[in-house]
């Protein structure tokens, strides 16, 4: 083996061992998340299910949330699913003691409460099982520190995709190397060790584009400091998704535009943008207010969307003046935004319906299997080296001194 190839073998080995446990956690949790909505309803129906029938308006239901909680409700859900509770994000008013929860679920038909929880906190019981799985998946349930750790792991995984592909190529580029490379795509069954090794190598080859997609999109979710410059260099800069707004010197808790006026302004700005850019709004999904920046963000679905449920379009405006801050459309405006939309949508199984959700769930299990087989291969070879070490030492003792030749008299 050449020194260069030996280096890349070691790099692949230690990169895989470093991130294997993290990939197992993300793979198993990622296999569950495409069905989180169904699992939520199954695990905690009393919290997530509601009556069916004519619903209260979003503004009326928000007023009910404020009245029940006595909290600041800076979030306005507008896309209701029949039979599902509507969940509001709530926080204690400035200067008030903590609420002890940050989400309030209401029945959109009756306006009654179905439950409250601190999102992702397992001490609240089974209402948070899937929320905790989601926290594990994107931050190891360690918030910003965990997000950083997984972002770095995703970057290592992305680079290791290329290293792993290189190592499947025959070491010597002589005549017939393509035929020899073809063997890397198959699985031998002559021994458990060969089967284990070939499963790891062949599945990595067959799934390479998908593995790279998930690895690089994970960098986008957790390590934007790396993802954005690379994508901007490749595709150019563009408004894509939510854009952080600069904070004010002091939070603006009571903007001049109240919620009804802000909703009217959001609809007017969206109608102007639709007329100018030629898109059609198909559904309002939510609006929220951020006191730190003094801006409202209005999310909606349009004929530019490819997601099934999530809104790909965002519009933000000043809470006092109503002036437009930005408009972000998911597709049709710029290559960067379109690629981001498809990349993140496939990662979240938000595109393609049930077949894609099943496929993403299976991919999560395959990522887990690749990580496990990689560790098993290392353990098997390490054990073999340890067992062989005594044999080598006993097979090559210090050479005995040959008997002196008798010198004839």
Question: Tens-digit pLDDT profile for the chain (409 aa)?
Answer: 688 888 998 899 899 999 999 999 999 999 999 999 999 999 999 999 999 999 999 999 999 999 999 988 999 999 999 999 999 999 998 888 999 999 999 999 999 999 999 999 999 999 999 999 999 999 999 999 999 999 999 999 999 999 999 888 887 766 677 778 888 888 888 878 788 788 888 888 899 999 999 999 999 999 999 999 999 999 988 765 556 788 899 999 999 999 999 999 999 999 999 999 999 999 999 999 999 999 999 999 999 999 887 888 999 999 999 999 999 999 988 899 899 999 999 999 999 999 999 999 999 999 999 899 888 888 887 777 777 766 555 555 554 444 444 444 3
- Answer whether 86's CB lies under 8 Å from 61's CB: yes
Say whether 56 sits in a helix, a strand or coil: coil
pLDDT at 173: 66
| Dist CA 391 CA 389 (whole Å) | 5
pLDDT at 241: 54
Say whether 99 sits in a helix, a strand or coil: coil
Question: What is the 3-state composition of the chain as percent helix, strand, coil, each rounded to the nearest 5?
Answer: 55, 10, 35
Say whether 237 sits in a helix, a strand or coil: coil
| Dist CA 299 CA 287 (whole Å) | 6
* Strand stretches in 134-280, DSSP E: none
- Surface-to-core class of residue 149, CB atoms within 10 Å of its CB (0-12 exposed, 13-18 middle, 19+ buried): middle
pLDDT at 202: 85
What angle is formed at CA 100 by the lines to CA 97 and CA 101, rounded to 5 degrees? Answer: 125
Q: What is the DSSP string of 295-336?
A: EEEEEEEETT---SSS--EEEEEETTT--EEEEE-SSSS-HH
pLDDT at 258: 96
State residue 313 phi and psi, 5-degree precision: -100, 140
- Answer whether 299's CB lies under 8 Å from 314's CB: yes
Q: Which two tokens stand for residue 216?
A: 């690089």
| Dist CA 364 CA 91 (whole Å) | 35
Q: So where are the chain's domains?
A: 35-138, 239-333
- Answer whether 295's CB lies under 8 Å from 319's CB: yes
**What's the pTM?**
0.86
pLDDT at 175: 64
pLDDT at 403: 47
CA atoms within 13 A on the CB side of 373: 19
Q: Which two tokens stand for residue 173?
A: 């580029």
pLDDT at 161: 94
In what side-by-side order are the strands of the sheet with 313-318? 75-77, 281-290, 295-302, 313-318, 324-328
């Amino acid at each position: 083996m050449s020194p260069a190839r030996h280096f890349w073998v070691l790099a692949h080995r230690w990169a895989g061992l470093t991130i294997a446990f993290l990939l197992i956690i993300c793979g198993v949790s990622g296999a569950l998340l495409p069905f989180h909505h169904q699992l939520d309803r199954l695990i905690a129906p009393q919290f997530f299910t509601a009556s069916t029938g004519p619903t209260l308006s979003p503004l009326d239901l928000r007023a009910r949330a404020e009245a029940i909680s006595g909290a600041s409700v800076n979030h306005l859900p507008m896309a209701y699913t029949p039979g599902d509770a509507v969940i509001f994000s709530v926080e204690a008013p400035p200067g008030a003691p903590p609420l002890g929860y940050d989400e309030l679920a209401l029945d959109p038909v009756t306006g009654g409460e179905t439950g409250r929880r601190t999102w992702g906190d397992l001490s609240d019981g089974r209402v948070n099982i899937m929320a905790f799985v989601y926290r594990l998946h994107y931050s190891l349930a360690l918030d910003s520190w965990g997000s950083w750790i997984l972002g770095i792991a995703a970057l290592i995984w992305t680079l290791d995709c290329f290293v792993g592909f290189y190592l499947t190529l025959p070491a010597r580029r002589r005549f017939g190397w393509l035929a020899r490379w073809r063997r890397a795509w198959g699985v031998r069954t002559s021994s458990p060790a060969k089967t284990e090794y070939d499963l790891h190598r062949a599945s990595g080859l067959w799934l390479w584009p998908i593995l790279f997609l998930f690895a690089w999109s994970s960098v986008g979710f957790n390590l934007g400091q790396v993802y954005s410059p690379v994508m901007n260099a490749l595709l150019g800069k563009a408004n894509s998704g939510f854009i952080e707004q600069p904070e004010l010197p002091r939070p603006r808790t009571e903007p001049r535009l109240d919620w009804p006026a802000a909703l009217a302004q959001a609809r007017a700005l969206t109608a102007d943008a639709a007329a100018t850019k030629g898109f059609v709004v198909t559904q309002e999904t939510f609006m929220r207010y951020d006191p730190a920046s003094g801006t409202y963000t209005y999310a909606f679905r349009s004929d530019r969307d490819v997601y099934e449920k999530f809104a790909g379009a965002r519009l933000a405006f000043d809470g006092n003046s109503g002036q437009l801050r930005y408009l972000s459309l998911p597709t049709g405006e710029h290559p960067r935004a379109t690629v981001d939309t498809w990349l993140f949508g496939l990662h979240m199984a938000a595109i393609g319906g049930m077949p894609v959700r099943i496929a993403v769930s299976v991919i999560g299990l395959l990522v887990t299997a690749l990580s496990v087989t990689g560790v098993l291969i290392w353990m098997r070879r390490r054990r073999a080296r340890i067992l062989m070490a005594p044999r080598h030492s006993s097979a090559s003792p210090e050479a005995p001194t040959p008997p002196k030749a008798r010198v004839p008299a």
